[in-house]
Amino acid sequence: MTKFKFICVSDQQKGDLIAPDYSHFTEILKKTLDENPDARFILTGGDNTNCGQHEIQWNGTFEGMKGIVESIPIQMALGNHDNRGFRDPEHETGRYYAEPAEFFDNQFKGSYAYDGPENWKTENYTFNYGNVHFQMIGINGPEEVNEWMIDDMKKNRRQWNIGTYHFPICYSGSDCANYDAYPVMTEGFEMLDIVFSGHEHNFARSFPRRNEELFERPSQGTVHYMLGNSNQNPPGTRAIQKVWHSAFYCEEEDVSVVAIVEVDGDKITLTSKIVEDGRIVDKCTIDKGKDVITPYAIAPKFNQTRMTYKGALMGLCQYPVPCENVGGIWYACFGTLIGYIGGLVVKEKGKITLEIYGKRVEFFENSNKVIVNGEEKTICAKVLRLHNQLYMPADACELFNMRWAYAKRNNFISFEHESEDKPITVQP
């Protein structure tokens, strides 16, 4: 079988711990299936519940699918809310995240293939349908899961290879991060053609991505497809289009987005739509035979080396201060970077003080000595004056517990931090 259709939903959870109401989600599914009666199964991107360590939450979820799941398979991915619980459910205190996801693993053992990594079975599993191999990837134990993904792909590769992982790699939240998966799971993800995700409650589709670089052709990288929320759950973070996105919708409306996936040999067409009113959010076809994605979109290639923070281009504030490679060392204007994020920037003659994420660092022109929270340290190269600003070696971002990478094809340097804090300076 090389021609079939399935439906994707994500983040349909509802917040009431005792009596979650999934009646609207019921209508969303019924309408979608009425319009697509030939859909073979439903695939979820995670957060099927709001607190999945409690049985009553799953009762609510399946009440919302009554009359549906009795006749069509549902292939669930695990989200962070699905392994969340409260030690005192009555007062919703003592929140915790189970590792492994005990209730999910026990309840659905036998429902899915028991072929995940040794310590994380059921929340990780695979299945095949037609010419597609699916990996349903859990959010716990990333190192072991990555090894399992690689081993599985070596044994079970098909014409199409699709993964589902709740946390988006090419995320859109202005304050989010992907440290849970990158770089520790990079090798596993980059063996897949498409990765579905959720978590952020808005829609985005990436350019094919491999080794930090962005491309146009499906043979060149993995398409990361972030499913919008499917039950009127607008995003809690303020999503923005990032450098890696070829399509984007913030979904800051009370709407429900589903994706219809049509497999036809060496082509897959993905259509995300708002169910309530029928508006099309995005429609694209990935054609392996012709090695194209339509509608066509060109990944950026910059003629001056730009900076991104959490995938966001810095716009006007970085225009006069591009990154520079001096003697084989990449330099960046940290004053611009920290100011863009919202940290403290104090410029003095021959000196700049930067403070963010609990680190206060003093840099000095033509010196590789810095003062970090009052303690002197040495960085890999001297601070330089370029474009009439002080530039630091990119490696020095580690002083703020950041990491960086250079996308050579696209000519930008990306900076990341695992914190999801919003570090705006305080107004006295």
Predicted confidence (pLDDT) per residue in 109-151, tens digit: 999 999 999 999 999 999 999 999 999 999 999 999 999 999 9
Position 315 scores a pLDDT of: 92
Phi, psi of 95, rounded to the nearest 5 degrees: -65, 140
Which pLDDT value is given to residue 89?
86
The whole-angstrom separation of Cα 167 and Cα 181 is 8
249's CB contacts (< 8 A; 6+ apart) are: 202, 203, 204, 228, 257, 272, 281, 282
State if pTM tops 0.95: yes
- Does the structure show a pLDDT above 90 at 311? yes
Element (H, E) at 133: strand 132-137
Beta bridge partner(s), residue 414:
308, 405
- Confidence band of 424 (pLDDT split at 50, 70, 90): confident
Is the pLDDT reported for residue 237 higher than 80?
no
Domains in the chain with CATH codes:
3-294 (3.60.21.10), 306-416 (3.30.457.10)
- Whole-angstrom Cα distance, residue 113 to residue 159? 21
Q: What is the mean pLDDT of residues 2-10?
A: 98
**Token pair recorded at residue 366:** 């033509």
| pLDDT above 90: percentage of residues in the chain | 92
107 confidence band (pLDDT: 50, 70, 90): very high
Confidence category of residue 422, pLDDT binned at 50, 70, 90: confident
* Confidence category of residue 321, pLDDT binned at 50, 70, 90: very high
What's the pLDDT at 386?
Answer: 98
Confidence at residue 306, expressed as pLDDT on a 0 to 100 scale:
98
User: Average model confidence (pLDDT) for the chain?
Assistant: 96
Q: Could you report the per-residue pLDDT of 185-207, keeping only the tens digit for each?
A: 999 999 999 999 999 999 999 99
Share of the chain residues as helix, strand and coil, in percent rounded to the nearest 5: 15, 35, 45
When pLDDT is cut at 50, 70 and 90, the band that residue 90 belongs to is confident
Q: Tell me what pLDDT residue 401 has.
A: 97
343: CB partners within 8 A, 6+ apart = 354, 355, 356, 357, 423, 425
Q: Where are the alpha helices (DSSP H) in 246-382?
A: 334-341
The number of beta carbons lying within 10 Å of the beta carbon of residue 243 is: 20
Residue 196: CB atoms within 10 Å: 29
Residue 183 class from Cβ within 10 Å (0-12 exposed, 13-18 middle, 19+ buried)?
Answer: middle
How does DSSP assign 206-274, residue by residue? EPPEETTEE-SSGGGSBEEEEPPPSSS---SS-B---TTEEEEE---SS--EEEEEEEETTEEEEEEEE
- Please choose, from the candidates 237, 270, 250, 244, the residue with its C-alpha nearest in 3D space to the C-alpha of residue 202: 250
Q: Which helix (H) or strand (E) holds 109?
A: none
As a whole number, mean pLDDT of residues 23-33 equals 97
